[in-house]
Structure 1
Amino acid sequence: MKYTFKAKGHPNVTSKHRSTFEVTQDTDMSLAGDCIVGVSSKASLNEIPQQMREAIQNENTQIHVILETENAHDEIIGYGHPSLTLDHPTDMVCRRSDYTCSRTLMIRADKAAVDLNPDLVEDLKSGKTLKVTLIVQST
């Protein structure tokens, strides 16, 4: 299953967070939001198709998040979990840890904001469009 949406970069993207990265529907961000890599997202967790949501709520499901700008891309792999509610109205957070809350899309991710492709981060700092693709594979 595949789901794609757009977001935008922002001059305050620092991509320094060591355990998460986030895409939000909020239109602005501060420098303190060092996990945020995309703003003005055209999708929220609530809008992920039902069949995909059900798959994400299984701990054996592998989730691939592909982040792309015109000059760079990166891929992050993590896992679903039964306690993911996927109901936050604006934020979508991918976590290295096992922590879950309404904002969590996936856990046990293999990368956080600090690990992302530097060319991708530079594009995001300059406000370029971010294409986000979620690929969900049940095992």
Structure 2
Amino acid sequence: MSDKKIKNIFSKGAISPLFIADSISKHSSKTNIGGHSIFMGQVRKDEIDGKLVAAIEYTAYEELALNKMHEIREEIFNKYPLSCMHIHHSLGTIKAGELCLFVFTSSAHRKPAIDACTEVVERIKAELPIWGKEIFENDTHQWKENI
């Protein structure tokens, strides 16, 4: 593992569209970048057993998740020729329709940015100790399956 500082990917509450727009706009001066790939995860208002999801409450084993995310970042940067990678994941209660995950990768060409973004999202879902509790409109809840 490198000596690079572990980045905190977590933030309390939903990820605002203004934050995303600002993140994108900051890259317009980086003229060595030719391609960006962006994934935005949004809470769905699923119907499960006749009940509608009103929100998801995200929790994490933060220290372990941040260490694992650092390993994943290092592996992705070693695998793909990226200019940069930004990852933000919400903690707390996120309402249906709000954004809970933002992954933004950039490279000189589109394919590495797209492939890296896809791999990061899949690895976050599969490897990080982050849990979501679905909160239904009738105030009942259940743990969400991570699919």
TM-score by length of 2: 0.28
> Which of the two has greater helix per residue?
2
- Indicate the structure (1 or 2) with the bigger Cα radius of gyration: 2
